[in-house]
Amino acid sequence: MQGRLLEVEIDAPALRGNPLGDPDRRLVLTYVPPGGASSLPAVYFLHGFSGSARSWTNVSLFQPTVPERLDALVAAGAIPPVVGVFPDGATALGGTQWTNAPAVGRYQDYVAEDVVRAVERELGTLSRREARAIVGKSSGGYGALCMGRDRPDVFAHLACHSGDAYFEYCYLPDLPKAAGALVAAKDAATWLADARRRAAETKLGGGDHPVLNMIAMGAHYAPDPSAPLGLALPLDLPSGRIRPEAWERWLAHDPVRFVPGALAAYRRLATVFVDCGTRDEYHLRWGARMIVDALRAGGVEVVHEEFEDGHGGINYRYDASLRLIAPRLARG
């Protein structure tokens, strides 16, 4: 790399006292191009579920990491220099949707306030919304859509790669899988404690992800202080029947539902990019199409792309969003 990767630890008041007891001092990985970060715009990257700040540096055979791709684009002159910011959203439930969730913590405020403030103070990046972009994949893509809805005062550019959307397609198929594992446990908290024990001793199994995902999504979409882990599962156990009252609470957080009611916020954005794979294993292609249709019907200019690929191993797609966004970021 011609640029540098820096590890910055920041205090996050937004996460202080969070209900999961997760740390409020967090690592933020930053990419600084040659010449330094002062007076440059910044792109904030939100990782997916089960990720962390350091997961952006995980190496796959023959494939550059996202920071390496960002560095290569800058070095080649394909995009003007930008600072890359990679905050940490790991939680005791496996991850965050990057929202303010009562059962998880204020992760949207953490990024939009704590991380932005620390980066601009420590690195000297531009403190203007027009000089900030928010991008992410999967849960990070969902978080980017929520950030565009709630914090257009902070970010003027948005990219959603394979973001969680149209919950009937992306979550419902996993619910019976999760029910099969949970029915043998006393409750979700008991299952989670056992999963952590197994992960510490060996590793999580392939069948654990649907359960962990359902627990974490329930914490974000249907908090319930009276229930184990403070969340409402959308399933009745042991019958496995969907609980309509809980499921409706989940659906209220579906971008397909909330985007049409937030068009005024999205119209404030200078850039909106949405993509997905045509073979996405969570069927997110269709939710992406519905979101794009709603945005365009509301007068929002959207760049929409589809790739002949699935949900994983898609770091190369950031090249497309960065080529679009980086030249549009405010400078000077």
The 3-state secondary structure of 4-37 reads EEEEEEEECHHHCCCCCCCCCEEEEEEEECCCCC
Domain co-membership, 224 together with 127: no
From 251, 266, 284, the end of a domain falls on 251
Same domain, 64 and 89: yes
pLDDT value at residue 166: 98
Contacts of 287 (CB under 8 A, 6+ apart): 163, 164, 165, 166, 169, 170, 254, 255, 256, 276
Are residues 321 and 188 part of one domain? no
Instruction: Decide if 299 contacts 263 (C-beta within 8 A).
Output: yes
Q: pLDDT for 157-173, tens place per residue? A: 999 999 999 999 999 99
Judgement on whether residues 52 and 145 belong to the same structural domain of the protein: yes
DSSP class of 115: I
Domain count, the chain: 2
pTM over 0.95: yes
**Same-domain pairing of 221 and 238:** yes
| The pair of three-digit structure tokens given for residue 236, joined into one six-digit string | 């009745």
pLDDT of residue 244: 95
pLDDT of residue 102: 94
Does 51 share its domain with 180?
Answer: no
Identify the domain containing residue 133 by its residue range.
4-166+255-328
154, 69: one domain: yes
Please check whether residues 113 and 55 belong to one and the same domain.
Answer: yes
- Of 164, 166, 106, 156, nearest to 140 (Cα)? 164
Based on the fold, state whether residues 309 and 274 are members of the same structural domain: yes
Residues 290-304: b if buried by 16+ CB within 10 A, e if exposed:
bbbebbeebebebeb
What are the percentages of helix, strand and coil residues in the chain, rounded to 5? 40, 20, 40
- Give the pLDDT confidence score for residue 31 in this predicted structure: 98
Which pLDDT score is estimated for 206? 83
Query: Which pLDDT score, from 0 to 100, does residue 61 have?
Result: 84
Please, which residues bridge with residue 121 across strands?
none
Mean pLDDT, contiguous 10-residue spans, the chain (332 residues): 95 97 97 96 97 93 94 98 98 96 97 98 97 98 98 98 98 93 88 93 91 95 92 92 96 98 98 98 98 98 97 94 98 88
Angle at 326 between CA 320 and CA 332, to 5 degrees: 175
Say whether both 189 and 155 belong to one domain. no
> Comparing C-alpha atoms, which of 249, 198, 254 is closest to residue 227?
249
pLDDT value of position 177:
93
265 lies in the same domain as 307 = yes
Of 155, 183, 146, nearest to 261 by C-alpha is 146
CATH code for the domain in which residue 270 is found: 3.40.50.1820
**According to the model, what pLDDT value does residue 249 have?**
97
Domain end, chosen from 251, 276, 297, is at 251
Last residue in a domain, options 220, 251, 282: 251
Residues 216 and 311 in one domain: no
* Size of the chain, expressed as the number of residues it contains: 332
